[in-house]
């Protein structure tokens, strides 16, 4: 059986690594790894391959940046010849990035079976490009691997047959559990504890320049109470340059280059809180027991709110400040916050591999 994995952005790498490893235990499974190049910066891609011990991609499509339409079309054009040449039995796609949708569309049109890892997540917000990617990919997929029961419910309500849906747990937690012992919080020079860790990259936050200016003012205000560490995504860095802000004058607001996976997890596990708009970080902080304030109006990962440590603060900066101050006041440790979530046990990839092999012989 030939399985072709498609990755394009950092969250895909963390999900694909344990699945590749789990499938390698089956001698009759041949695997091909295709990197679309959606994240093309070495700090955003190459170092993740090294730290996650991912094999070198068999193909790198090198599509780079562009609008959503341009990037999706570029992946489709470059990916189709790969599928025609390699003739996989199953194409595995991950998450909700443009590469996910593009690979699913090509595979469906060529009659190749599709497996979607992290299926069924829904924000109910179609202004998010990721939501469109999720909806279409799930309709095209033959095997839908869900991380939590709400994913199953969403898919069933959209008319997908129950036989295609497989609740397997969260593969990102597989990677987190395996590599957590290798992490430590190497604080930047002059940073003291406690500290908040910040990540922002979604267009709704960083492309709205007046809002971004107000958000940075809020982070500067918070930095009077605790250090703020902000590894800046390239997209966000460009918007900060557009604003022309003098951020260096805020001594406890530390803007860094993007961090490799191990370094970021090390900072995340010891943070007093994380302020983010990332879906994956909502999951990681939930598992680690770290308070998370999500700067979005909705989330496709409601389990991080109902069973985890996540709070939605939307675009209400007063609410963000109040929630941050409450976390500092309560001073909860991550150990006291950590909760056990169903199937977030480090074995999701093994469950996926067993299902794939079983379905190939049915």
The residues spanned by each domain of the chain are: 2-169+344-361, 185-337
Nearest alpha carbon to residue 61 among 45, 47, 49, 77: 77
User: How far, in Å, are 48, 223, 249, 331 from residue 230 at the CA level?
Assistant: 19, 11, 15, 21
Query: What stretches in the chain show pLDDT beneath 70?
Result: 40-45, 245-250, 332-339, 362
Report the pLDDT value the prediction gives residue 237, as an integer from 0 to 100. Answer: 84
Nearest alpha carbon to residue 129 among 70, 87, 187, 177: 70
- DSSP three-state, residue 135: helix
User: Is the distance from CB of 61 to CB of 34 less than 8 angstroms?
Assistant: yes
Phi then psi for 79, rounded to 5 degrees?
Answer: -80, -35
Q: What's the rounded Cα separation, in Å, for the pair 182 and 177?
A: 10
Beta-strand relationship, 292-294 and 165-167 = unpaired
Number of alpha carbons in the 13 Å side-chain half-sphere of residue 179: 24
Report the pLDDT value the prediction gives residue 156, as an integer from 0 to 100. Answer: 98
CATH class, domain 2-169+344-361, is alpha beta
Q: Which two tokens stand for residue 120?
A: 């069924």
Its pTM stands at: 0.93
Tell me the pLDDT tens digit for each residue of 76-101.
Answer: 999 999 999 999 999 999 999 999 99
Report the pLDDT value the prediction gives residue 41, as an integer from 0 to 100. Answer: 67
User: How far, in Å, are 125, 228, 309, 359 from residue 130 at the CA level?
Assistant: 9, 28, 23, 28
What's the chain's Rg over C-alpha atoms?
A: 20
User: Is the distance from CB of 268 to CB of 284 less than 8 angstroms?
Assistant: yes
Report the pLDDT value the prediction gives residue 104, as an integer from 0 to 100. Answer: 98
Return the CATH number of 185-337, one of 3.90.1640.10, 3.20.20.10, 3.40.50.2000, 3.40.120.10. 3.40.50.2000
CA 36 from chain center: how many Å? 16
Q: What's the rounded Cα separation, in Å, for the pair 226 and 253?
A: 9
- Topology alike, domains 2-169+344-361 and 185-337: yes
Tell me the pLDDT tens digit for each residue of 237-283.
Answer: 888 888 876 655 567 889 888 899 999 999 999 999 999 999 999 99
User: Is the distance from CB of 101 to CB of 57 less than 8 angstroms?
Assistant: no
Report the pLDDT value the prediction gives residue 31, as an integer from 0 to 100. Answer: 98
Report the pLDDT value the prediction gives residue 218, as an integer from 0 to 100. Answer: 93
Would you please indicate which residues are annotated as catalytic (active-site) residues? Answer: 201
Q: What's the rounded Cα separation, in Å, for the pair 288 and 284?
A: 6
């Amino acid at each position: 059986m030939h399985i072709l994995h498609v990755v394009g952005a950092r969250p895909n790498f963390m999900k694909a690594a344990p699945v590749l490893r789990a499938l390698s235990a089956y001698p009759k499974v041949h695997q091909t790894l295709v990197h679309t190049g959606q994240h093309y910066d070495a700090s955003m891609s190459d170092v993740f391959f090294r730290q996650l011990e991912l094999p070198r991609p068999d193909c790198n499509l090198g599509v780079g940046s562009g609008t959503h339409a341009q990037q999706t079309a570029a992946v489709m054009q470059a990916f189709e010849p790969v599928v025609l040449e390699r003739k996989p039995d199953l194409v595995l796609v991950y998450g909700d990035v443009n590469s996910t949708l593009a690979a699913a569309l090509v595979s469906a049109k060529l009659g190749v079976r599709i497996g979607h890892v992290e299926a069924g997540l829904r924000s109910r917000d179609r202004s998010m490009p990721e939501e469109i990617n999720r909806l279409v990919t799930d309709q095209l997929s033959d095997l839908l691997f869900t991380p939590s029961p709400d994913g199953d419910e969403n898919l069933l309500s959209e008319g997908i047959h129950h036989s295609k849906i497989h609740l397997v747990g969260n593969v990102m937690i597989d990677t987190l559990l395996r590599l957590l012992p290798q992490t430590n919080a190497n604080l930047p020079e002059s940073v003291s504890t406690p500290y908040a860790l910040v990540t922002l990259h979604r267009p709704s936050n960083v492309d709205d320049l007046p809002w971004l200016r107000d958000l940075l003012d809020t982070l500067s205000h918070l930095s009077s109470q605790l250090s703020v560490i902000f590894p800046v995504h390239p997209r966000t860095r460009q918007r900060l340059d557009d604003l022309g802000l003098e951020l260096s004058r805020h001594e406890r607001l530390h803007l860094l280059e993007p961090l490799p996976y191990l370094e970021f997890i090390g900072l995340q596990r010891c943070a007093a809180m994380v302020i983010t708009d990332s879906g994956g970080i909502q999951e990681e902080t939930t598992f680690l027991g770290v308070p998370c304030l999500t700067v979005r109006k909705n989330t496709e990962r409601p389990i991080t709110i109902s069973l985890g440590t996540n709070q939605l603060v939307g675009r209400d900066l007063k609410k963000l400040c109040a929630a941050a101050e409450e976390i500092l006041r309560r001073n909860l440790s991550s150990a006291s916050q950590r909760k056990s979530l169903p199937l977030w046990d480090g074995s999701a990839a093994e469950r996926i591999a067993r299902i794939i092999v079983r379905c190939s012989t049915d």
